[in-house]
Copies of this chain bind each other. A is one copy, B any other.
Amino acid sequence: MANPVLPSSGALSPLGLDAVRLSPGFWGDRVALNHEVTIAHCQEWMEREGWIGNFRGDRPRRGREFSDSEIYKLLEAMAWAGHPELPALAETVARAQEGDGYLNTRWTGSRYTDLEWGHELYCYGHLIQAGVARLRNHGEDRLTEVAVRAADHVCRRFMDGTQTCGHPEIEMALVELYRATGTERYLELARRLVERRGLPALGEIHLGRAYFQDDVRLRQAQSFRGHAVRALYLACGAVDVAVETGDEELLKSIETQWERTVARRTHLTGGMGSRHADEAFGEDYELPPDRAYSETCAGIASIMLSHRLLLATGDARYADLAERTLYNVLATALALDGRSFFYANPLAVRVPAEPVIGVVNHSAGGGLRSPWFDVSCCPSNIARTLASVAAYVATGSGDGVQIHQFTPGEIRHDGLALRVETGYPWSGEVRVRVLEGGGGRISLRVPAWASGATLRYEAAGAAPDGGRDGAGAGGSEAVRRVEPGYAVVERDWRPGDELRLELPMAPRWTYPDRRIDALRGCAAVERGPLVYCAESVGDEPPLTGMAALPSSPPAEHSSDGTVELEVEAVLGTPDSDAWPYSSKAGGWPYQPQREPGTGTGTALRLVPYHRWGNRGPATMRVWLPVADRTVADETVAEKTVAEKTVAERPSAG
């Protein structure tokens, strides 16, 4: 079966990518864009930068020490997509493999001399994942052969001893190769690599051992920490090992760490990582919107981890976080044209980028995605994730099918065939129509934010409102409230039966835990699974010194196939004149009185966060300062009077 993650046990089972076919819609469109544009874009840049040439022996070698892994992630994307360029690229890779299976264009001749920073096992991990993808979606070929030879080489070299790689990744790859081939030594090596960390297994580095999770045994850690991508990839591998070896203590430990990390070290978007200096999680409650790192790859790694925990436990909270991260990190990182990318995904940007387009970047910022990076882990990671995103949509179990993510498409499991029709995430209506019937349960996830959701079963051929009394034609049921978690309906399904889930899509104000210092006095707006933001491009009113009035509910405007929102706000003057003390003491910004609020009341447009930065260099805010009551009173008071006058007129007429 073709799916990136195929555990041999767990609460839920993945469906093959062929069992979940996406139609045009939010994710179906992005999958198509990826197949048509992004995969080729990545290949072009890897050629241009010489990273593919490295495999041909071109000298001097180009790119960073881990650039081989980009080709492997691209191969994985091609494998899931069934891309015609795969065999030729795989052949180029295969020719660089040494006789004993060793394969690395950077370290050939000085193998394993820098395990802390060399990334050799990390690169193998991605090679093996590409091989597994090919094996599952096509069958044995040159690529799978190369991957197996590499895995066997690693087993020979690293099965005994205390060493591991500075960058986790190979752990989950080895477990998946075990699942795909049944060869137990791959699982055993993965288990050992997970257990070695924290003994410690690596040398001292100036960033400290927590950077690569070698400070403490994984099962004893309290929270994910250090380099976010490393931490999350390691946790994925640990879940895989735990599931295959029945290590419930390890699984429970990762669940606990996930829970604490989500409660204390995760941005509203689902993004993880607060520090630029070491691309790391910060401390608990260190969640600055402007300096949020929220690396695209960490978002992807978090989706991979939540999915694994969902499969193991069936707990909806994991699908909730995956949804949040899919819509607000993954979808944000890719430009609408599929050809440029964010590396970091901050929640506030104060200074727009210089408009330099089409060149390699150190880290795209200021609202301008970059076509490529010197450390370009994110583009190929997006490509492989979109190529397999259908894996996150639904699962099966012995007694039915579970739909976790809502996007148009068809789902088949155990004789049952369902068509999902929805305008989600713009609309909250999700229709699940039975195409081919059978027995069992259909479970629909009700997200944690969807308080007040309703579900209605309509039997094939029933009148649209025939079931309102619970006993309509064909056994249709009344609309019933469903609580966050899973709404489950068990029937003997017949073609034409339909479930209609209505999720409440009113925009909502969201407030942060007060221990998050960087968000004090702010609120954000969400609608459905989407986080919204204010964006300012070019001459649009600047966002410096603005404040929002959350007393009024945001208004909705459809625009360009999306929904934009409007909130009441006060715009401050952007320059120093807004600050009454600026003329004193050389503009010293710390003064003995609270700054009196000033500004002009206005309507502030909010766009979905994943859409920002598609109109050119921009400034942006997800978290909007909340106006002081003293500021708000006047404006609000005026508004209220005006609205009341309007509202009362009809009743008086």
Residues on A lying within 8 angstroms of B by beta carbon are: 206-208, 259-260, 262-264, 266, 268, 275-277, 282-286, 288-291, 317, 320-321, 348, 350-351, 362, 374, 448, 484, 508-518, 520-524, 544-545, 547, 572, 576, 578-579, 581-582, 584-595, 597, 625
Contacts and interface: CB of A to CB of B under 8 A. Distances in A.
14 contacts: A263-B582, A266-B589, A286-B291, A290-B518, A320-B585, A320-B586, A448-B588, A508-B592, A510-B590, A510-B592, A511-B595, A513-B589, A514-B625, A520-B625
B317 A350 contact: no
Contacts of A590: 268, 510-513, 524
Nearest to A318: B586
Nearest to A581: B513
A259 B587 contact: yes
Given A206-B374, A262-B588, A521 B524 contact: no
Contacts of A593: 511
A285 B586 contact: no
Contacts of A284: 350-351
Given A283-B351, A285-B544, A591 B517 contact: no
Nearest to A514: B595
B263 A350 contact: no
Given A317-B585, A511-B594, A517-B518, 18 more contacts: A206-B374, A207-B362, A260-B587, A262-B588, A263-B582, A263-B587, A263-B588, A264-B589, A275-B276, A276-B276, A289-B517, A448-B585, A511-B595, A513-B590, A514-B545, A514-B547, A514-B572, A520-B625
A474 to B, nearest CB: 36
A54 B262 CA distance: 49
Contacts of A521: 520-521
A259 B268 CA distance: 36
A448 B597 CA distance: 24
Contacts of A283: 290, 350-351
A282 to B, nearest CB: 8
A58 B275 CA distance: 38
Contacts of A317: 585-586
Contact of A290 (B259, B512, B517, B592): B517
A263 B592 contact: no
A582 B284 CA distance: 14
Contacts of A572: 514-515
Nearest to A284: B350
Contacts of A578: 515
A509 B593 CA distance: 8
Contacts of A520: 520-522, 625
A594 to B, nearest CB: 5
Max chain B Cβ within 10 angstroms of own Cβ: one of A206, A448, A517, A576: A517
The list of the 6 closest CB pairs from A to B, nearest first, reads: A263-B587, A513-B589, A521-B521, A520-B521, A276-B277, A448-B585
B263 A586 contact: yes
Nearest to A511: B594
Nearest to A516: B589
Given A277-B276, A277-B277, A520-B522, A512 B589 contact: yes
Nearest to A287: B589
A449 to B, nearest CB: 8
A285 to B, nearest CB: 7
A291 B520 CA distance: 16
Contacts of A515: 544-545, 572, 578-579, 589
Contacts of A268: 590
B510 A576 contact: no
A645 B404 CA distance: 62
Nearest to A522: B520
A20 to B, nearest CB: 26
Contacts of A582: 263
Contacts of A484: 585
Given A348-B517, A350-B283, A517-B289, A584 B448 contact: yes
A591 B592 CA distance: 33
Nearest to A580: B513
A307 to B, nearest CB: 15
Contact of A625 (B362, B517, B581): B517
A453 to B, nearest CB: 14
For A508, A512, A513, which residue has the most chain B Cβ atoms within 10 angstroms?
A: A513
B510 A591 contact: yes
A356 to B, nearest CB: 12
A493 to B, nearest CB: 31
Nearest to A349: B283
Contacts of A586: 259, 262-263, 317, 320-321
Given A350-B286, A517-B348, A518-B517, A591 B276 contact: no
Nearest to A264: B589
Contact of A591 (B259, B321, B511, B588): B511
A292 to B, nearest CB: 12
Among A510, A518, A523, chain B packs the most CB atoms within 10 A around the CB of A518
A583 to B, nearest CB: 10
Contacts of A595: 511, 513-514
B290 A286 contact: yes
Nearest to A512: B590
A568 B484 CA distance: 41
Query: Which of A581, A585, A595 is packed against the most chain B CB atoms within 10 Å?
Result: A585
Contact of A579 (B206, B208, B513, B579): B513
Nearest to A320: B585
Contacts of A513: 579, 581, 589-591, 595
A207 B276 CA distance: 12
